[in-house]
């Protein structure tokens, strides 16, 4: 073979390789573009949140001593799910488990930690939607870890089927799936604080702009960046506020909002969890940042499934010490001297995660599988 032929073949191979790399890079960029959607919050979304017909919420306390006691009256005040059920006629079509179908403790109750239904709906299947707020630098991985990957594994795991005993749907099928789109929102904050109405406006914008679903079969998770506080209202008295210990009450919460235009929406508030008081202990299989996000996220997702309209679903109503607790509250780990949760590590869909367990009426204990 002549030299120029060899050179021509080599050149062609180089060009082909370059084209392949270019096509691969282009494919990756296209994939990223296809799984990321930026959403703008309008004045209409803000107004819709402020004029909502009703809301209910339930928060997860920090690991610091006394946090549960401080949060108890706040959670009791936010537990208005029964009123939401009356306001939204569409929820009447959901599966309801009233006292006639659910064991109601009477007299001496041998297992005081067991949960009972208050007659409201559960989330028998759902799609998880992830919303990331004000990510101005880095990536989802550097800010929160991989919540979408964790939720995907959770949906394919036996762990999620602990909820079957509360939803009354006993099926090995994957009924909880994850929206593969990442919704990113820029939202102006005052003093780096977002209140619940702000988060509701963000969720409203994502739903309306993308034609997404509402009701108990859709769960929206709103992730906040490090340095952003969130409070229930503009009194700024009950907050996630690691920078202000006097107002710091919770790590996260789940809520139901009844919008006048689109109906009832479920979402969780997921502030930055890799801080003392909300983080899991080290070492962690996925790193403290990721598993701190994962553990708190799983707490809120399990509670949203079993008590989507707090507290009309499954809660503790038999113990003075645990009254009003939900499935995640009863198994919230203790904190170490640094304020990090002592969560166990176990496999979820074949991958190790350091996350808290959830309460099982079947075992009368915290469990990792049904």
Quick: pLDDT tens for 92-142.
666 544 333 444 444 455 799 999 999 999 999 999 999 999 999 999 999
* Measured distance CA(118)–CA(179) in Å, rounded: 30
Phi then psi for residue 249, to 5 deg, are -120, -35
Q: How far apart are CA 264 and CA 256, in angstroms?
A: 6
Question: Residue 104 domain-assigned?
Answer: yes
CA-nearest of 140, 183, 137, 194 to 39 is 183
The model's pTM: 0.89
pLDDT band at 33 (very low <50, low <70, confident <90, very high): low
pLDDT digits (tens, 9 = 90+) for 141-174: 999 999 999 999 999 999 999 999 999 998 878 8
For 173-198, b/e burial (b = at least 16 CB within 10 A) is: eebbebbebbbbbebeeeeebbbbbb
Structure token digits, residue 336: 């170490």
In 10 A of CB 119, how many CB atoms? 17
Residue 56 lies in a domain: yes
pLDDT at 347: 98
- Asked if residue 15 belongs to a domain, the reply is no
Cα–Cα separations (whole angstroms), residue 54 to 48, 86, 88, 208, 256: 11, 10, 9, 19, 8
Share of the chain above pLDDT 70, in %: 86
Number of domains in the chain: 1
Residue 1 located in a structural domain: no
For residue 128, the SS3 value is strand
For residue 321, pLDDT over 80 is answered with yes
- pLDDT, mean of residues 60-81: 93
83 is a domain residue: yes
Does residue 65 lie within any of the structural domains?
Answer: yes
Q: Please work out, in degrees rounded to the nearest 5, the angle formed at the alpha carbon of residue 21 by the alpha carbons of 15 and 25.
A: 140
Assigned token pair, 200:
């509701």
pLDDT tens, position by position, 294-309? 999 999 999 999 999 9
d(CA 209, CA 38): 10
What's the pLDDT score for residue 109? Answer: 58
Domain that holds residue 271: 34-367
DSSP state letter for 96: B
Distance of CA 189 to the CA centre of its chain: 22
Say what the pLDDT of residue 94 is. Answer: 60
Residue 337 lies in a domain: yes
In a domain, 13, yes or no: no
**The pLDDT of residue 173:** 81
């Amino acid at each position: 073979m002549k030299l120029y032929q060899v050179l021509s073949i080599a050149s062609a191979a180089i060009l082909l390789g370059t084209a392949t790399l270019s096509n691969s890079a282009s494919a990756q960029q296209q994939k990223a573009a296809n799984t990321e959607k930026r959403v703008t919050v309008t004045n209409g979304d803000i107004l819709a949140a402020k004029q909502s017909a009703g809301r209910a919420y339930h928060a997860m306390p920090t690991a610091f001593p006394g946090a549960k006691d401080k949060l108890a009256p706040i959670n009791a005040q936010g537990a208005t799910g029964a009123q939401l059920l009356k306001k939204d006629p569409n929820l009447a079509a959901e599966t309801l488990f009233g006292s006639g179908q659910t064991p109601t403790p009477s007299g001496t109750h041998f297992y005081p930690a067991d949960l009972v239904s208050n007659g409201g709906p559960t989330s028998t299947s759902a799609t998880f939607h992830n919303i990331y707020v004000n990510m101005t630098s880095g990536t989802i991985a550097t800010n929160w870890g991989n919540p979408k990957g964790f939720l995907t594994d959770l949906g394919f795991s036996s762990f999620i089927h602990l909820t079957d005993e509360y939803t009354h749907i006993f099926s090995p099928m994957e009924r909880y799936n994850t929206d593969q789109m990442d919704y990113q929102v820029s939202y102006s904050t005052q003093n780096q604080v977002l209140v619940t109405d702000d988060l509701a406006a963000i969720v409203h914008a994502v739903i309306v702009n993308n034609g997404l679903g509402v009701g108990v079969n859709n769960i929206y998770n709103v992730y906040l960046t490090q340095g952003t506080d969130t409070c229930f209202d503009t009194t700024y008295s009950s907050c996630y506020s690691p920078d202000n210990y006097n107002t710091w009450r919770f790590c996260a919460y789940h809520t139901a909002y009844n919008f006048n235009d689109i109906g009832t929406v479920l979402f969780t508030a997921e502030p930055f969890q890799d801080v003392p008081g909300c983080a899991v202990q080290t070492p962690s299989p996925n790193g403290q940042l990721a598993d701190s996000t994962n553990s708190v996220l799983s707490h809120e997702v399990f509670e949203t499934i079993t008590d989507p309209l707090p507290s009309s679903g499954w809660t503790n109503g038999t113990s003075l010490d645990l009254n009003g607790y939900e499935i995640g509250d009863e198994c919230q780990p203790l904190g170490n001297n640094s304020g990090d949760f002592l969560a166990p590590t176990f496999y979820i869909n074949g991958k190790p995660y350091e996350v808290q367990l959830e309460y099982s009426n079947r075992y009368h204990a915290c469990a990792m599988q049904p």
